Amino acid sequence: DQQVKQNSPSLSVQEGRISILNCDYTNSMFDYFLWYKKYPAEGPTFLISISSIKDKNEDGRFTVFLNKSAKHLSLHIVPSQPGDSAVYFCAASARSGNNRKLIWGLGTSLAVNP
Amino acid sequence: EAEVAQSPRYKITEKSQAVAFWCDPISGHATLYWYRQILGQGPELLVQFQDESVVDDSQLPKDRFSAERLKGVDSTLKIQPAELGDSAMYLCASSLAVGLGTQYFGPGTRLTVL
């Protein structure tokens, strides 16, 4: 059973517009959330994270919003650029003793069209 | 900028052969992870090290996979014998310490088993 769900396998956006990628989770013990970007044949690149004590975190063109009551987070990219075209993974973690394990979604493929 | 190094980037082998992957984490990162990623899915954790000790290898197919981090720095993941179903991207990641959520990934090794 997927604890982290990215229900949109793909998204297409025009350059300069906003890209919104969504992620839902089921485990209320998750307290730290991350977004990674992955180009083909490369490893995931860390983008931005958010702790469950916050509802928003911003870094340049990237903003992550967390709605704990809905168990939902979203990544906003404004403005979108062609170089943003990649697969975006949402990941969540909960503390287990001294350890943390990342639980990953299946990814959303974003295409930004010039 | 510090990076996780992996080699080789690409490996083609025949089934029943042995293969080995190498990873050098970001300097000072005590925790090292090996993941396997199949196209269309999120990364799957194979093994996690804290320094030279295994923290989690519950998803490692121990009949054919082995991993070591003898001096608590770089690490090797071995498959013997390789099977067709092992074709995937093998990713190494590191984090500053166990219990910290942000993991930084290397470029990965694309394994093709013929």
A88 contacts in chain B (CB < 8 Å)? none
Alpha-carbon distance B101 to nearest alpha carbon in chain A (angstroms): 6
Alpha-carbon distance B15 to nearest alpha carbon in chain A (angstroms): 22
The residue of B103, B104, B111, B112 whose CB has the most chain A CBs within 10 angstroms, and thus the best one to mutate to test that interface, is B103
Q: For residue range A6-33, what is the model confidence (pLDDT) as tens digits?
A: 999 999 999 999 999 999 999 999 999 9
Tell me whether residues B56 and A101 touch, CB distance under 8 A: yes
Tell me whether residues B108 and A43 touch, CB distance under 8 A: yes
Q: For residue range A39-52, what is the model confidence (pLDDT) as tens digits?
A: 988 899 999 999 99
pLDDT band at A97 (very low <50, low <70, confident <90, very high): confident
CB within 8 A of A99, min separation 6: which ones? B48, B55, B56, B98, B99
SS3 B70: coil
Q: Does A35 touch chain B (CB under 8 A)?
A: no
Percent residues over pLDDT 70 in chain A: 100
Mean pLDDT of chain B: 93
B100 contacts in chain A (CB < 8 Å)? 100
Instruction: Give the chain A residue nearest B98 (alpha carbons).
Output: A99
CA A60 to chain CA centroid, Å, is 15
